[in-house]
Structure 1
Amino acid sequence: MTELTPRVDPPMAADEAAMLTSWLDYHRSTLALKCEGLTDDQLRLRSVPPSTLSLLGLVRHMAEVERHWFQGVLLGEEFATGHYWTEADPDGDFDHVDTADVAADFATWRAEIEAASRAVAGQPLDTVGKRARQDQEVTLRWILVHMIEEYARHNGHADLLRELVDGSTGE
């Protein structure tokens, strides 16, 4: 990953929708920054056995999460399998990075982010997703808050993975 990822601090004062989408974009950019400047092999490096956690695995996982919540739950699209997982192999996003095409996986993640942004554009936060979750309606507001939480948690993992790879620390 050779490009520099712009990371914009969320505004201190904004309406709720702008605040939530700004924080989500901030955390997306944080994951990209944690991966920047590393080789494919460094992105594939696992944390601590028996864990299969790697930076590339996090990117692949977040592509799946973006797709699930925005395309699947919000828009109601159905998927038989994910980009990297199947019913028989539910952890394929993390488990199969050793021979993965890193550039293609990052392109998939970015495409899912773009699709998510299109799905959210102009939608009120109270918009109810077309597919319920555990028999409960899910609003766009809930999805955005959940996605911020999901990225924040995995960015903590990314911090530790990046430090393992090259000693780099930071926000």
Structure 2
Amino acid sequence: MERISPPLTGDERETLRTFLDYHRATLAWKCEDLTDEQLRRASMPPSTLSLLGLVRHMAEVERHWFRRVLGGEDLPHLWSDTHDFQAAYDASGSSRAEAFNAWQEEIAHARRIEAAAASLDVTAYVPSWEEEASLRLVMLHLIHEYARHNGHADFLREGIDGTTGA
């Protein structure tokens, strides 16, 4: 996944789309050139957070916001039979192929749903909020979610092999 900097003068939708793709690519970059074992390595006790867990979590987040909320699809969670978002973090039995394939598939669905929306003002009901939310807010929410977790990915990667940099 190529990391492209957001435009300095793009319109709102192009800017949001590019920032979201930038953060997606940042997470992928943080995982480059690592073995499955390194990707599963937890940060420090008691945390079980790992890079592979972050990838799995973000697959679940993409699936939820774009397919369930905006797309109205009735879908199970990828890694939980009890609708537990936290289950995705447990990557102890996962592989790069399994996690990245799921994540890339959910990103492809998200891009399709976003591109098909008439505008950023399209809304969908968010059950956990009991309110309507716009595509604009969903995209901003995902940018925030990726930015926060990419900060975690920075520390995780540094702990694995000393690699730093955004």
TM-score (norm 2): 0.94
For 1:143, the equivalent position in structure 2 comes to 138
For 1:74, the equivalent position in structure 2 comes to 70
Deviates more, 1:118-127 or 1:146-155: 118-127
For 1:161, the equivalent position in structure 2 comes to 156
- CA gap 1:89/1:143 in 2 versus in 1, 3 angstroms: closer
- CA gap 1:146/1:48 in 2 versus in 1, 3 angstroms: same
For 1:102, the equivalent position in structure 2 comes to 96
Q: Any residues of structure 2 matched to 1:6-85 within 5 Å, and which?
A: 6-79=2-75, 81-85=76-80
Contact 2:57-2:88 at 8 Å conserved across structures: yes
Deviates more, 1:38-47 or 1:119-128: 119-128
Unaligned runs of at least 5 residues, structure 2 = none
How many residues are aligned here? 165
Q: Secondary structure at the match of 1:91?
A: helix
Contact 2:40-2:53 at 8 Å conserved across structures: yes
Note the C-alpha offset of 1:84: 1.1
Percent identity over the alignment is 51
**Partner Cα distance (1:108, 1:122) in 2:** 21
Unaligned runs of at least 5 residues, structure 1 = none
For 1:114, the equivalent position in structure 2 comes to 108
Q: Secondary structure at the match of 2:98?
A: helix
**Partner Cα distance (1:62, 1:26) in 2:** 14
Q: Which has the higher strand share?
A: 2
**Partner Cα distance (2:121, 2:83) in 1:** 35
